[in-house]
């Protein structure tokens, strides 16, 4: 069986892909970066918004499994960049001034974002300046907007000029493909059919601000289409549903992308 292989430097895993897709995962690291001061409420820099240091449990596993399944099904692999350092020390999805509190953290942070930048440049050069980045996260179920998956684009702001947000919701769009999934599954409630609830519900609905896209997708959006994928905890915590999601993302992502960045 073909395997997605990774190199690693400064607690950042990388895989150089063969299709115009980058998968990133900033918040599921478990390693302590040597010499780096831990972030907390007290040392959170001013004007950096709400302090967060929680781990997006199993987001990295999902990212790697999706990359592997794409390779198995297509013979090609996405580019992948995964932070292995703990978010308690470095938040890779914030701008540098808000991501860490001492200079020793900078090389780890830069390794993550330079990896994304390098892969972006290479990908676009080889694919007629077309490509997609999917930033994979975990979230709780949002009470005001309960869903299994949240797709964030800053309401279209992280999509390229000329790529309308409505395309996500078309039958062959990312939202369209995921929302259409129906799977046989005996859930604890006894319901035999599982189907994702994907937020926002349709192209007319606005994205929930807490999950509408962070620094990575904003930072890369001037070069390519970027979507933040937030996976709700009940999906990440359930072995069966997590397995479904891996299969479904591995199908939906490349089939969506190839319509606009053929490979």
The structural domains of the chain, ordered by start, are: 7-257 (3.40.630.40)
Token pair recorded at residue 145: 């907007």
97-111 average pLDDT score: 97
- Could you tell me the pLDDT band of residue 122, with boundaries at 50, 70 and 90? very high
Dihedral of alpha carbons 159, 163, 165, 167, sign? negative
Q: Is residue 227 over pLDDT 80?
A: yes
Angle at 196 between CA 64 and CA 143, to 5 degrees: 100
CA–CA separation, 257 and 202 (whole Å)? 19
86 CB burial (10 A radius; 0-12, 13-18, 19+)? buried
Count Cα neighbours of 111 within 13 Å in the Cβ-side half-sphere. Answer: 19
Radius of gyration of the chain (CA): 18
- Could you tell me the pLDDT band of residue 190, with boundaries at 50, 70 and 90? low
- Could you tell me the pLDDT band of residue 192, with boundaries at 50, 70 and 90? confident
Give the chain's mean pLDDT: 96
- Could you tell me the pLDDT band of residue 45, with boundaries at 50, 70 and 90? confident
**Closest by alpha carbon to 197, among 143, 137, 146?**
146
pLDDT for position 49? 86
Angle at 23 between CA 17 and CA 28, to 5 degrees: 125
Separation of first and last alpha carbons in the chain? 22
Residue 23 pairs in a beta bridge with: 80, 134
pLDDT for 132-179, tens place per residue? 999 999 999 999 999 999 999 999 999 998 999 999 999 999 999 999
pLDDT for position 1? 83
Higher-pLDDT residue of 190 and 9 is: 9
CA–CA separation, 81 and 198 (whole Å)? 25
- Could you tell me the pLDDT band of residue 99, with boundaries at 50, 70 and 90? very high
């Amino acid at each position: 069986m073909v395997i997605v292989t990774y190199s690693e430097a400064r607690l950042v895993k990388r895989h150089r892909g063969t299709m115009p897709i980058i998968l990133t995962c900033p918040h599921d690291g478990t390693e302590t970066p040597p010499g780096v001061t831990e972030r907390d409420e007290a040392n959170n820099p001013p004007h950096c918004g709400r302090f967060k240091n929680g781990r997006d449990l199993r987001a990295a596993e999902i990212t790697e499994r999706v990359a592997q399944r794409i390779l198995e099904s297509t013979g090609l692999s996405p580019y992948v960049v995964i932070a292995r350092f703990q978010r308690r020390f470095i938040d890779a999805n914030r701008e540098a001034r808000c991501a860490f509190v001492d200079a020793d953290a900078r090389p780890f942070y830069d390794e993550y974002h330079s990896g994304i930048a390098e892969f972006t440049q290479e990908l676009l050069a080889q694919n007629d300046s077309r490509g997609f980045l999917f930033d994979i996260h975990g979230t709780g179920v949002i009470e005001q907007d309960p869903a299994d998956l949240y797709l964030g684009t800053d309401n279209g702001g992280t999509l390229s000029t000329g790529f309308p947000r409505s395309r996500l919701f078309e039958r062959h769009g990312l939202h369209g493909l995921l929302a259409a999934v129906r799977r046989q599954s005996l859930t604890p409630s006894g319901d035999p059919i599982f189907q994702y609830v994907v937020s926002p519900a349709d192209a007319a609905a606005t994205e929930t601000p807490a999950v509408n896209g962070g620094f990575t997708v904003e930072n890369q959006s001037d070069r390519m289409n970027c979507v933040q994928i937030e996976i709700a905890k009940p999906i990440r915590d359930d072995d069966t549903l997590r397995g479904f999601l891996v299969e479904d993302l591995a199908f939906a992502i490349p089939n969506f992308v190839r319509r606009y960045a053929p490979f």
